[in-house]
């Protein structure tokens, strides 16, 4: 009798354990901090105490996560996070590209058929995304589940939200309001209208951006005033005054832009009852201001330091609020990023005493490419264009001049590689062919290349070289580690803290969440579920 009782007892425990292990979170909050790099967590660890600190201390931290592709930009980054597909699969190969037929510029989220809603927004939708995303997979299995995506950037909100979210909102820098397009709704929901009518920017943006901590806390960053940083007013150092007539725009290059988005996300949670029903909802939040601040001042500046301290506090409050609403054990938080960033060249050379430089594309690189084109025109005895600065080649004219495709490309390659700053050239046949001779970063470019929208050739600039048209600021967009290395952390929902050092990629995020939600995903997915993320 005792043996039978023991068997029943342990069988019940087993059933309960299995049921618990299959329990799904009521709410997934995926936070993408634009241009966030893992080094920030280590560099500012002792000064963090809010949301960033919680992610680092309480989450499953994947320390070796990379994009694993070359086009490290906002559009491809957010599409990859939500779809689990590389740009070569999702069709979002860059923030912008040139149509191979018309040679006209195309924005990754543009849609002329998406009209303004209540007189605002419009012009954008996920039309250019050729695959489905996590939110679509969830709603196919659970139509009543809600998917909401918000960001300061239109392409971030749109490409994370997928094909059919309930809502996608982004910030309009002209009006200072959160807007959408007719692709998503015929009228703006009442809660969003009330948020906009409350005039967040006017009520919450201070007169200036000053340092949150004592000056000594920023000494690790080097000087506050540094050549290469954006001039705000009369200098690049603190404090930074907000001009009343420009504050709707200037807020984005400050911590307050992200605070606005977090407050809007709170309003969405309250009004849409996200995480408060007997099913799973997903909230995507794109925090874009780290990118704007990083572009302007660099990732080692006093500005990025202070921005992250303030974001840490705001994110901490937001996480606590969400846990109170939905229950701490019911929410799975995910933190990642769309790309990294190259250090400000002037900081590398003047402060870190390393090597980096600016490549002035318009004044140096383009004239040399023009010189190469003229040389080839002379060889082919033609005045027609041969090399477009948009990455296209005139193979037809070359053929008429008795140059085969291969010979033409060899001539172009040889000429381009003779130009200072260009490290390699990848042609379309190399990016789409399976028998291409292996070489460094070829795979990164292949995973970025969507042939129907791709150029005839793509360039790899030298490492620690910043191709730019400006004397200040920095950027991203390369295959190098500083642009490719991103954070990836899963926290909450009963997960135990851990450090995972094996190589992982941003394409793994969506299939991992799909497995947790027990929803199937399409064969187009390039990533794999991360086995370490288990309750």
Q: Read out DSSP for 143-165?
A: TTS-EEEEESSHHHHHHHH-SS-
Tell me if 245 is assigned to some domain. no
pLDDT tops 70 at residue 425: yes
pLDDT tops 50 at residue 167: yes
| Residues 305, 442 share a domain | no
Task: Please give the share of the chain, as a percent, with pLDDT higher than 90.
Answer: 93
Q: Do 258 and 317 touch, CB atoms closer than 8 A?
A: no
| Residues 291, 190 share a domain | yes
Give the containing element (helix H, strand E) for 105. strand 105-107
Q: Do 197 and 188 touch, CB atoms closer than 8 A?
A: no
Mean pLDDT computed over 187-210: 98
| Residues 196, 124 share a domain | yes
Tell me if 533 is assigned to some domain. no
Mean pLDDT computed over 358-369: 94
Q: Is the bond preceding 239 in cis, omega lying within 30 degrees of 0?
A: yes
| Residues 427, 295 share a domain | no
| Residues 287, 210 share a domain | yes
Query: What's the CATH code of the domain at 428?
Result: 3.30.1360.150
pLDDT tops 60 at residue 252: yes
| Residues 173, 43 share a domain | yes
pLDDT tops 60 at residue 318: yes
Q: How far apart are CA 299 and CA 342, in angstroms?
A: 8
Between CA 392 and CA 395, with CA 394 as vertex, the angle to 5 degrees is 115
**Active-site residue identified among 66, 74, 280, 504:** 74
Q: Any idea which residue has 């870190």 for tokens?
A: 352
pLDDT tops 80 at residue 22: no
| Residues 222, 260 share a domain | yes
User: Residues 103-136: pLDDT tens digits?
Assistant: 899 999 999 999 999 999 999 999 999 999 999 9
pLDDT tops 70 at residue 13: no
Residue 74 falls in the annotated catalytic set: yes
pLDDT tops 80 at residue 8: no
**Mean pLDDT lowest for which of 39-53, 234-248, 430-444?**
430-444
Q: What are residue 138's phi and psi, to 5 degrees?
A: -65, -45
Mean pLDDT computed over 409-419: 97
| Residues 386, 504 share a domain | no
Number of domains in the chain: 2
Tell me if 293 is assigned to some domain. yes
Could you tell me the residue range of the domain that residue 431 belongs to? 357-463
Tell me if 267 is assigned to some domain. yes
Tell me if 451 is assigned to some domain. yes
Mean pLDDT computed over 437-450: 96
Q: How far is CA 302 from the centre of its chain?
A: 23
Give the model's pLDDT for residue 389: 79
pLDDT tops 60 at residue 78: yes
**Mean pLDDT lowest for which of 11-15, 173-177, 304-308, 367-371?**
11-15
pLDDT tops 90 at residue 15: no
Q: How far apart are CA 70 and CA 484, in angstroms?
A: 8
pLDDT tops 60 at residue 12: no
| Residues 182, 119 share a domain | yes
Tell me if 16 is assigned to some domain. no
Mean pLDDT computed over 64-92: 98
Tell me if 469 is assigned to some domain. no
| Residues 213, 167 share a domain | yes
Residues whose CB is less than 8 angstroms from the CB of residue 98 and which lie 6 or more positions away in sequence, other chains included: 104, 105, 106, 390, 391, 392, 455
| Residues 269, 364 share a domain | no
How does DSSP classify residue 242? P
């Amino acid at each position: 009798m005792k043996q039978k009782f023991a068997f029943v007892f342990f069988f019940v425990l087993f059933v309960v354990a299995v049921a618990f292990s299959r329990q799904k979170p009521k709410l997934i909050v995926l936070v993408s901090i634009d241009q966030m790099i893992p080094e920030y967590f280590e560099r500012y660890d002792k000064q963090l105490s809010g949301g960033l600190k919680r992610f680092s201390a309480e989450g499953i931290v994947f320390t070796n996560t990379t994009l694993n592709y070359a086009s490290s930009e906002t559009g491809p980054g957010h599409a990859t996070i939500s779809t689990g597909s590389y740009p070569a699969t999702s069709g979002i190969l860059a923030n912008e590209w040139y149509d191979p037929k018309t040679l006209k510029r195309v924005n990754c989220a543009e849609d002329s058929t998406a009209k303004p809603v209540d007189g605002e927004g419009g012009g954008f939708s996920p039309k250019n995304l050729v695959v489905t995303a996590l939110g679509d997979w969830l709603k196919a299995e659970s139509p009543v589940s809600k998917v909401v995506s918000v960001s300061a950037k239109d392409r971030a909100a749109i490409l994370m939200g997928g094909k059919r979210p309930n809502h996608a909102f982004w910030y309009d820098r002209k009006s200072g309001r959160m807007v959408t397009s007719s692709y998503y709704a015929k009228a703006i929901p009442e809660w969003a209208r009330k948020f906009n009518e409350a005039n967040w920017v006017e009520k919450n943006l201070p007169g200036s951006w000053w340092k949150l901590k004592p000056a000594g806390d920023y000494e690790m960053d080097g000087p506050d005033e540094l050549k290469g940083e954006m001039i705000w007013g009369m200098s690049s150092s603190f404090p930074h005054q907000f001009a009343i007539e420009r504050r709707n725009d200037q807020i984005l290059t400050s911590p307050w832009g992200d605070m606005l988005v977090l407050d809007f996300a709170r309003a969405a949670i309250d009004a849409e009852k996200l995480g408060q029903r007997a099913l799973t909802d997903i909230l995507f939040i794109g925090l874009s201001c780290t990118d704007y601040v990083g572009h302007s001042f660099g990732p080692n500046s006093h500005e990025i330091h202070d921005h992250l301290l303030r974001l840490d506090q705001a994110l901490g409050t937001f996480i606590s609020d969400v846990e109170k609403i939905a229950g701490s054990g019911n929410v799975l938080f995910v933190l990642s990023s769309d790309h990294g960033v190259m250090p400000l060249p002037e900081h590398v050379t003047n402060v870190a005493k390393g090597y980096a430089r600016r490549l002035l594309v318009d004044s140096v690189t383009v004239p040399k490419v023009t010189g190469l084109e003229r040389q080839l025109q002379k060889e082919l005895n033609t005045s027609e264009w041969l090399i477009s600065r948009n990455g296209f080649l005139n193979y037809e004219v070359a053929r008429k001049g008795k140059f085969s495709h291969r010979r033409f490309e060899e001539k172009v390659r040889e000429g381009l590689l003779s130009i200072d700053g260009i490290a390699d050239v990848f042609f379309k046949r190399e990016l789409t062919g399976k028998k291409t001779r292996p070489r460094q970063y070829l795979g990164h470019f292949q995973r970025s290349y969507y042939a129907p929208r791709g150029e005839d050739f793509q360039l790899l600039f030298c490492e620690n070289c910043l191709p730019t048209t400006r004397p200040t600021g920095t950027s991203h967009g390369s295959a190098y580690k500083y642009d490719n290395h991103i954070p990836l952390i899963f926290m909450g929902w009963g997960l135990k803290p851990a450090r995972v050092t094996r190589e992982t990629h941003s394409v793994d995020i969506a299939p991992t969440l799909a497995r947790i939600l027990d929803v199937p995903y399409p064969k187009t997915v390039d990533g794999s579920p991360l086995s370490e993320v288990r309750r």
